[in-house]
C-alpha cells in the first residue's frame, strides 16, 4: 500500500538544511575578511561624506539637467543594485555623497568624470629628463628632440610593460579624485577655473602640436618645438585644470597617472562612449590586475581598423586627461576586445571597470576632503528600536507556546534556525555586493517574522482541520501539508512580488526595506519546507511527543474521536439493518 501524499523522510530534509547552514558558515569564516559581522548602514554606524563641486570649462553655472544626470550616474556607480546604503543628493551645484563606514577615498573616486578616449602617442619622455633637456639651446633642443623621439619609439615598442607598470592608478597623488588633489585647497571662483582651462588648452591642446595635421614644409620642426615647450611647462603633480575638460578633437600634452611620463598625444580616434562593457580580471602571466574592454559595433570596427593600420605604434588610454596605459599594438585586434594594464590592485581594477561601464559624467568635479558623519540615529533610539523588536518577537513566542504547545516549540525553533540563515546571508551579501543593513532593512526583517509565523499558523490550523475530520495526528500531518503548502506558496509568492515591485520603483532606504523583505520571504520557504514540516512529521510519529498533553491538540483529538465513534455506530446500525432485511 502506497503512503499517503505528503509523507516524507524527515531526516533527509533536515540533512539538506544542515548542509546549507554548514556551506553558508563555511563561506562566512573561510572567505573574505573572515569577520562574521554584517555591514551596517549610515543610520546605524555613521559614514563618510564627500562633496563634489561641479566645474564647467566656460565658468558658467551647470544646468539642472547636467546635475541630475551626474547625480544619477554617480548613484549608479556607488549604489548599482540599490542596497549598498549610500546616499547621493544634490546641494545647489554640489553633489554630496555619503557612504557607510570609512570609505572616503573610494567616494572621491566616484566623482571621476570617467571621460575615456583613445589617442595615438606622438612623443613621450620621462619626467626626470625634462630638466636636463630644458637647459640646452634651441638648436640643440631640436636635434635632441629628434633623437629622443626615436629613442622613445623604440622604448615604447620594446619596454612598454615598464611604462604600464609605472602607470598604476593607485600610485598617483592625483588619482584620488577628479580633479586630482583638491583636498584642503581654497575653492576657486568660476572665472579663475575657466581662465586656467583656457590657458592650459592654448599650450597643451594647440593644433600645431600634431605634425600630421599640417602638411606645410617646416611644420614638423615647428611641432617639435611646440611639443618641447608644452612638456617643459607641464607639471605632473598638483591640480590639472584639463581633467575631464580636454577637447577630444585636438592634440593633448599630458602625464600618466603615476606622474613619471609626459606624453604628446594625437586627437581622439575612438571615444569611450563606444565601450560596451568593462570588467576586471587577474592576469596570471603578468601577475597583476587589468581591465577588459568590449566595444560596441561601430567602436569594434574602428578599433580593428586602427590596430591593423598602426601595428608597432603606441595607443594611449586616456582617462580624465591622464594616460592610464600606453601599450604597444603588436598585432591587429579584430574582435573588439582590448585591455587596460597597469599596477592595479584588485579594488582599483574593479572600481575602474565599474566607472567605465556606467559611463562618463557630463561635468567635471572638484572633490573636498572626506568628513566623518555620525549615525543619524542616536544610540538611545537604536536601543529603543531593538528593544521594541525583541518584545514583539517574545510576544509571538509566548503566544505560540501557549496556544500550540509542542507545535509552538517547533515554531520558536524554526524561527531561530531562520535567523541563523539570515545572519549568514547578510554577512555574505555585505562582502559580495556591498549590502548594508540599515533601520529600514531591520524593519523588513521584523515584518518577515510575521510572514514566517503566518506560514506556520496556516500549516498547524490545517492539521487541526484534518483531525476534526476524524484523522489521527500522524495521518493528518501529510494530508494537511499537501493542502497547506499551496496556500503558503501563494502567500509567499504575492509577498515576494510586492517586494520586487517596491524594489524596482523605490529608491534609497525603501529599496533596502524591499530587498530584505523579499530575501526573508525566500528564506521562509526554505525553513518551512526543510525544517518545520519535517519536524512536525517527526513529532507526529513519536507517541510521547504527540500525546494530547504535550501537543496541545487534546480538544481536537477528542472531537475527532467522537466523530470517529459516531461513524462507527452509524456503520454498525447500517450493518444490523441490512442483516434484518
3-state secondary structure 48-101: EEEEEEEECCCCCCCCHHHHHHHHHHHHHHHCCCCCCCCEEEEECCEEEEEEEC
Has residue 241 been placed in a domain? yes
224 vs 124, 149, 221, 231, 268, CA distance in Å? 12, 9, 5, 11, 20
For the chain, the 3-state helix, strand and coil shares in percent, each to the nearest 5, are 55, 15, 30
pLDDT of residue 186: 54
β partners of residue 452: none
* Residue 580 within any structural domain of the chain: no
The neighbouring-strand residues paired with 319 are: 116, 322
Give yes or no: residues 381 and 342 share one domain: no
d(Cα 245, Cα 355) in Å, to the nearest integer?
17
- By the 10 Å C-beta count (0-12 exposed, 13-18 middle, 19+ buried), 247 is classed as middle
Residues 74 and 118 in one domain: no
Full pLDDT tens readout for the chain, 581 residues: 445 555 778 899 999 999 999 999 999 988 876 678 888 777 777 777 888 888 777 777 888 888 888 888 887 777 654 456 677 888 888 888 887 766 656 666 666 667 888 999 999 988 864 444 444 434 334 444 443 443 343 333 333 333 333 333 333 333 333 333 333 445 566 677 788 888 889 999 988 888 877 666 667 888 888 889 989 888 887 778 888 788 899 999 999 888 889 999 999 999 888 888 888 888 888 788 888 888 888 888 999 999 999 888 999 988 888 888 888 888 888 877 788 877 778 877 887 787 777 767 777 787 766 677 777 665 566 677 678 778 878 888 888 888 888 888 888 898 889 889 999 999 998 888 778 888 788 888 888 888 888 888 899 889 888 888 878 888 889 999 998 999 999 999 999 999 999 988 876 678 888 999 999 999 889 999 999 999 999 988 888 887 777 776 766 666 656 665 554 444 445 444 544 44
Query: Is 368 inside any structural domain?
Result: no
Instruction: Quote the CA–CA distance of 552 and 411 in Å, as a whole number.
Output: 14
Extract the C-alpha cell encoding 200. 592650459
Tell me whether residue 547 is in a domain.
yes
CATH number, domain with residue 80:
3.30.1070
CATH of residue 438's domain is 1.20.1640.10
Please indicate, yes or no, if residue 370 is contained in any of the structural domains.
Answer: no
Say what angle helices 533-540 and 439-468 make with each other, to 10 degrees: 30
Measure CA 38 to chain center: 15
Residues 318 and 228 in one domain: yes
186 and 168 share a domain? Answer: yes
Give the pLDDT confidence of 144-173 residue by residue, as tens digits.
444 344 334 333 333 333 333 333 333 333
- Give the position of cell 595635421: 213
Model confidence, pTM: 0.58
Could you list the residue range(s) of the whole structural domain that residue 60 is in? 43-104
Q: How far apart are CA 350 and CA 63, in angstroms?
A: 31
Question: Can you name the residues that pair with 281 across neighbouring β-strands?
Answer: 290
User: What would the pLDDT profile of 562-581 be if each residue is shown by its tens digit?
Assistant: 665 554 444 445 444 544 44
Amino acid at each position: 500500500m502506497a503512503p499517503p501524499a505528503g509523507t516524507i523522510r524527515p531526516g533527509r530534509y533536515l540533512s539538506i538544511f544542515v548542509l546549507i547552514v554548514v556551506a553558508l558558515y563555511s563561506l562566512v569564516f573561510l572567505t573574505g575578511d573572515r569577520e562574521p559581522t554584517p555591514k551596517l548602514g549610515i543610520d546605524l554606524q555613521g559614514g563618510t561624506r564627500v562633496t563634489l563641486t561641479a566645474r564647467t570649462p566656460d565658468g558658467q553655472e551647470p544646468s539642472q539637467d547636467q546635475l541630475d544626470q551626474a547625480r544619477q550616474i554617480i548613484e549608479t556607480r556607488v549604489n548599482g543594485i540599490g542596497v549598498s546604503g549610500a546616499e547621493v543628493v544634490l546641494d545647489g551645484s554640489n553633489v554630496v555623497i555619503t557612504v557607510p563606514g570609512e570609505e572616503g577615498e573610494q567616494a572621491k573616486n566616484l566623482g571621476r568624470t570617467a571621460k575615456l578616449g583613445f589617442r595615438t602617442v606622438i612623443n613621450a619622455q620621462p619626467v626626470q629628463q625634462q630638466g636636463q633637456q630644458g637647459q640646452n639651446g634651441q638648436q640643440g633642443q631640436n636635434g635632441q628632440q629628434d633623437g629622443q623621439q626615436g629613442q622613445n619609439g623604440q622604448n615604447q615598442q620594446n619596454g612598454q610593460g615598464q611604462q604600464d607598470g609605472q602607470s598604476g592608478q593607485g600610485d598617483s597623488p592625483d588619482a584620488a579624485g577628479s580633479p586630482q588633489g583638491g583636498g584642503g585647497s581654497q575653492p576657486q571662483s568660476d572665472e579663475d577655473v575657466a581662465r586656467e582651462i583656457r590657458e592650459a588648452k592654448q599650450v597643451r591642446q594647440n593644433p600645431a602640436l600634431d605634425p600630421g595635421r599640417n602638411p606645410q614644409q617646416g611644420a614638423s620642426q615647428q611641432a617639435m618645438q611646440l611639443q618641447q615647450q608644452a612638456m617643459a611647462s607641464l607639471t605632473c603633480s598638483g591640480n590639472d585644470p584639463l581633467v575631464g575638460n580636454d577637447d577630444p578633437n585636438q592634440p593633448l600634452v599630458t602625464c600618466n597617472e603615476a606622474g613619471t611620463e609626459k606624453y604628446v598625444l594625437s586627437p581622439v580616434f575612438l571615444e569611450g562612449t563606444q565601450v560596451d562593457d568593462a570588467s576586471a580580471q587577474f592576469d596570471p602571466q603578468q601577475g597583476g590586475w587589468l581591465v577588459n574592454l568590449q566595444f560596441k559595433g561601430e567602436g569594434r570596427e574602428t578599433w580593428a581598423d586602427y590596430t591593423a593600420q598602426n601595428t608597432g605604434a603606441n595607443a594611449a588610454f586616456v582617462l580624465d586627461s591622464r594616460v592610464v596605459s600606453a601599450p604597444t599594438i603588436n598585432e591587429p585586434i579584430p574582435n573588439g576586445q582590448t585591455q587596460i594594464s597597469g599596477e592595479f590592485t584588485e579594488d582599483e581594477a574593479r572600481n575602474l571597470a565599474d566607472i567605465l561601464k556606467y559611463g562618463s559624467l557630463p561635468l567635471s568635479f572638484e572633490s573636498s576632503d572626506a568628513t566623518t558623519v555620525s549615525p543619524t540615529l542616536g544610540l538611545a533610539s537604536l536601543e529603543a528600536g531593538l528593544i521594541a523588536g525583541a518584545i514583539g518577537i517574545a510576544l509571538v513566542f509566548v503566544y505560540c507556546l501557549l496556544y500550540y504547545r509542542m507545535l509552538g516549540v517547533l515554531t520558536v525553533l524554526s524561527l531561530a534556525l531562520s535567523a541563523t540563515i539570515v545572519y549568514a546571508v547578510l554577512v555574505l551579501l555585505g562582502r559580495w555586493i556591498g549590502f548594508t543593513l540599515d533601520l529600514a532593512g531591520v524593519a523588513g526583517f521584523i515584518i518577515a517574522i510575521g510572514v514566517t509565523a503566518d506560514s506556520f499558523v496556516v500549516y498547524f490550523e490545517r492539521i487541526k482541520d484534518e483531525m476534526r475530520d476524524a484523522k489521527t495526528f500522524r495521518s493528518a500531518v501529510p494530508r494537511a501539508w499537501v493542502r497547506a503548502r499551496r496556500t503558503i506558496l501563494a502567500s509567499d509568492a504575492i509577498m515576494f512580488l510586492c517586494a520586487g515591485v517596491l524594489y524596482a520603483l523605490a529608491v534609497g532606504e525603501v529599496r533596502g526595506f524591499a530587498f530584505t523583505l523579499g530575501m526573508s520571504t525566500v528564506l521562509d520557504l526554505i525553513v518551512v519546507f526543510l525544517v518545520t514540516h519535517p519536524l512536525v512529521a517527526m513529532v507526529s510519529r513519536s507517541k510521547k511527543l504527540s500525546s494530547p498533553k504535550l501537543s496541545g491538540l487534546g480538544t481536537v483529538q477528542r472531537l475527532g474521536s467522537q466523530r470517529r465513534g459516531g461513524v462507527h455506530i452509524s456503520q454498525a446500525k447500517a450493518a444490523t439493518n441490512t442483516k434484518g432485511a
